[in-house]
Amino acid sequence: MRLEKKSPCKVNLMLNILGKRTDGFHKLETVMQPVNLYDELTFERGGNGIKLSCSEKSLPVDSKNLVFRAAEKFLQTTTISGGVKIHLEKKIPLAAGLGGGSGNAATTLLAMNELFDSALPSKTIATIAESLGSDIPFFLQNKPALATGRGEKIQPIENFPALIGKAFLLIHPGFGISTPWAYQNLARFPEALNGKAGRAKELVEKLRTKNLAGAAGTFYNSLEAPALDKFPILALFQNFLRENGALAALMSGSGSTTFAICENVSSAESLVEKFKSKFGENCWAAIVPI
Ligand code: C5P
């Protein structure tokens, strides 16, 4: 049996950090939105252990890879002795703040359960997901969500009326940002480190109306403080996007991707043309209908 799965990504419409916890993680509230841009994963039962291959040669294919770890934890938890062959075709940029790796891990857990006759109840899959990374539970349900805790406590939300028919323009600058680096460097920005709770709910309420313009000023990401300080080009990107028709522009997650929300696909197409004539063709860009 062979399974082919699409593994999506996300942007954070809001990422409000509420302080550092005693376990080293940060308390936060975030509004996460699925993005229909996919890596592709194929799974085949057989052999012994886990054999992972990947189109992206810079990624490890052993237990340093989240796909490998998700498959390994699944097999350990079930005590199944069979093996699996997995191939990951990478399309989502790495270290981009888009949750590509977390999405891959969630997709792997769900696919393994399908491949091995629903050996685990969904509650156990959720526990494994949470143990592998803060963003992974979000991808098990893959609907807009308000997430709290360290990002693993998920409240699903119906599709936002303000975003219906709109389009994302995603721009990756050609360099990545390490998530641990971004969190560690928040310490230099006490205001960003200790945000006031409630901003995520405020954004959710605004996005429940059809008036995106009314919500535009509420989009916020605490991790921009260290990231835009180190990489000021990301601030220039945002200003340019806003000045040239984007309804909102923000860094996603710990960066380095900037996303703009555009009225529709054709306005995103003309915006990306303007962007490339200003900043050059070297950036990776994708237009994704919402
Ligand atoms: O949970 P995940 O493995 O994705 O986190 C990667 C790193 O990001 C953590 O090791 C930690 O440094 C940082 N992090 C954090 N607070 C969070 C989520 C992540 O400090 N809520």
Contact 237, 173 (CB under 8 A): yes
Reduced to 3 DSSP states, what percent helix, strand and coil does the chain have, rounded to the nearest 5?
A: 40, 30, 35
The residue type at 239: N
Written as one string, the DSSP assignment of 84-151 is EEEEEE--SPSSSSS-HHHHHHHHHHHHHHHHTTT-S-HHHHHHHHHHH-TTHHHHHH-S-EEEETTT
Nearest CA to ligand 1 atom 8: 180
Give pLDDT tens digits along the chain (290 positions). 899 999 999 999 999 999 999 999 999 999 999 999 999 999 999 999 999 999 999 999 999 999 999 999 999 999 888 899 999 999 999 999 999 999 999 999 999 999 999 999 999 999 999 999 999 999 999 899 999 999 999 999 999 999 999 999 999 999 999 999 999 999 999 999 999 999 999 999 999 999 999 999 999 999 999 999 999 999 999 999 999 999 999 999 999 999 999 999 999 999 999 999 999 988 999 999 99
pLDDT of 66: 98
Measuring from each residue's beta carbon to the nearest atom of ligand 1, which residues come in under 6 Å?
25-26, 28, 133-135, 150-151, 179-180, 183
Choice from 12, 15, 16, 26 to test ligand 1 binding pocket (greatest atom count within 8 A of CB): 26
- Mode of pairing for the β-strands spanning 50-54 and 84-89: parallel
Nearest residue by C-alpha to atom 12 in ligand 1: 180
The predicted structure's pLDDT at residue 82: 87
Name the residue among 29, 73, 37, 60 with its Cα closest to residue 204. Answer: 29
Output the CA 150–ligand 1 centroid distance in Å: 8
pLDDT given at position 236 = 98
Taking a C-beta distance cutoff of 8 angstroms, is the pair 84, 99 a contact? no
Tell me the C-alpha distance between 71 and 75, whole Å.
Answer: 6
Choice among 39, 73, 90, 135 that is catalytic: 135
Of ligand 1's atoms, which has the minimum distance to the CA of residue 179? Answer: 8
Of the residues 10, 90, 166, 206, only one is catalytic, namely: 10
